[in-house]
Structure 1
């Protein structure tokens, strides 16, 4: 590998990103030993403390583990990493493209949203149902501006996911809307059919209020699937 010196600000973050990209891109395959700390420090022109902090972050991301013999071994990230790695996957050389990862995230959004709507219809409290209905009315008054509709849509879905009582769904929802996953950057024109269908939002809220779980699930999946890109995904 050619020697690469890096900027002095946020040194450990930059070392982490470079090593992460090597792992995600396949330059450091699963089961291989991570380059020795002193050699990495020399390659990047940084002190060993920065390398140590970067390796610690790799461990936290479940990209490497320290073996009993003291060696740091690369893990198969497809088996060990979590959603917090999604942005890094898109940025890595040789990894999935941002477009593919966006499609994956939108497909996950449709699956989670559909089941959250089903669970919300089954589990929601009377007060939660009332909040969803009020939020639906606010949503209907937000259009036709897509930016306003997008913000109202996030608030509306948050109430549904919270009403599902599923904490894992709620944490995934937070990742989807916070920018951890690239769904937050999807162009509004891709989501036009979903956002402008106020009638479907009203019907979904009515299904939840009436505790009609299966119709709520079907309608939520149909509504959210409209934002999934129809172009074929690259096969890697």
Structure 2
């Protein structure tokens, strides 16, 4: 006998082609509220009924949103409601939400991410020096050529730096380091792009870093590699500080705000 089924309306998410699904909209809104301090650690979040009314959603969508917050580590769900958790205990995925606040990232957050990325690439570079074959070292040094020559084309410059970092990461063999660094890089760089036009490329400083790194790689000098990336980190962080200072001056002068093109 053929089985019969009851026709049911399609899930709410399928009715919103091209737009965020309702539970994602709710989760994103609550995430932003938590991260900007609207809800304090330990505070109870609004009830399912209140959230359903606020977002004109059904309770199923609200429950899905709460599960998302729990997965992010921003809320703990208990019988009777959900409470906010400390951001420090959240998952790495929260970084993308922190970066999404405002037209450009918070200056302190940007500096912290740059420090973490430098630590990751330095760790990978040290491993590369120790384990890479001569051919692999030669391939990485070849990636330095565009930086040694210098190019004022921002796109070409960014591609050259990305290819250098990716080559070092892949050669290091440290999978965890690669995954974390790539995740941070792909989230961070697009959000910082609006600031690039506010500062000039310092090709001389970049060339000095490339020369220092090339010399260290050729000699398989671990301390030299570490020193080169410390120099690069100091340079990049100073550039970022100048960019944020220029942005503040621009805003103080009443200029139109910079708009991020990041998704």
* TM-score over 0.5 (shorter chain): yes
Q: What root-mean-square deviation, in Å, do the aligned CA atoms of Structure 1 and Structure 2 show?
A: 3.0
Counterparts in 2 of 1:54-65, with a 5 A limit?
Answer: 54-65=65-76
TM-score, length of structure 2 as denominator length: 0.72
Structure 2 distance, partners of 1:29, 1:76, is: 8
Map 1:100-111 → 2, pairs under 5 A: 100-111=108-119
Separation in 2 of the partners of 1:167 and 1:224?
Answer: 22
Equivalent residue number for residue 256 of structure 2? none
Q: How does 1:198-213 map to 2 (within 5 A)?
A: 198-213=207-222
Structure 1: give runs of 5+ residues left out of the alignment. Answer: 1-7
Instruction: State the match for 1:148 in structure 2.
Output: 156
1:173 Cα deviation from its structure 2 partner: 2.2
Aligned counterpart in structure 2 of residue 218 of structure 1, from 227, 249, 257: 227
Q: CA deviation at 1:186?
A: 4.7
Q: Deviation digits for residues 57-77 of structure 1, max 9, x if unmatched?
A: 11221111223x464222111
Give the stretch that moved more between structures: 107-116 or 11-20: 107-116
Classify the secondary structure of the residue corresponding to 1:12.
Answer: helix
Distance 1:90 1:162 in 2: 26
Match of residue 179, structure 1, among 159, 176, 187: 187
Superposed displacement of residue 56, structure 1: 1.8
Map of 1:45-60 to 2, 5 A cutoff?
45-60=56-71
1:179-228 superposed Cα distances (whole Å, 9 cap, x missing partner): 35635555166472378623431431331242210111011110232011
Query: Is structure 2 residue 82 aligned with structure 1 residue 72?
Result: yes
Which SS does the other structure have where 1:28 is aligned?
Answer: coil
| Mapping for residues 9-28 of structure 1, pairs under 5 Å | 9-10=19-20, 11-28=22-39
Instruction: For CA contacts below 8 A with separation 6 or more, give which structure has more relative contact order.
Output: 1
Question: Quick check: 1:23–1:29 contact (8 Å CA) kept in 2?
Answer: yes
Flag the 1:149–1:134 CA change in 2: closer, same or farther, 3 A: same
Q: Does 1:86 align with 2:86?
A: no
2-structure distance, mates of 1:89, 1:28: 15
Unaligned runs of 5+ in 2: 1-15, 246-263
TM superposition shift of 1:99: 2.7
Query: 3-state DSSP class of the match of 2:83?
Result: strand
Distance 2:204 2:164 in 1: 12
Q: CA deviation at 1:91?
A: 4.3
Establish whether residue 36 from structure 1 lines up as the match of residue 11 from structure 2.
Answer: no
For the pair shown, which has the larger CA radius of gyration, 1 or 2?
2
Q: Is the 8 A contact 2:150 2:203 kept in 1?
A: no
CA contact (8 A) 1:59 1:65 kept: yes
Q: Secondary structure at the match of 1:56?
A: helix
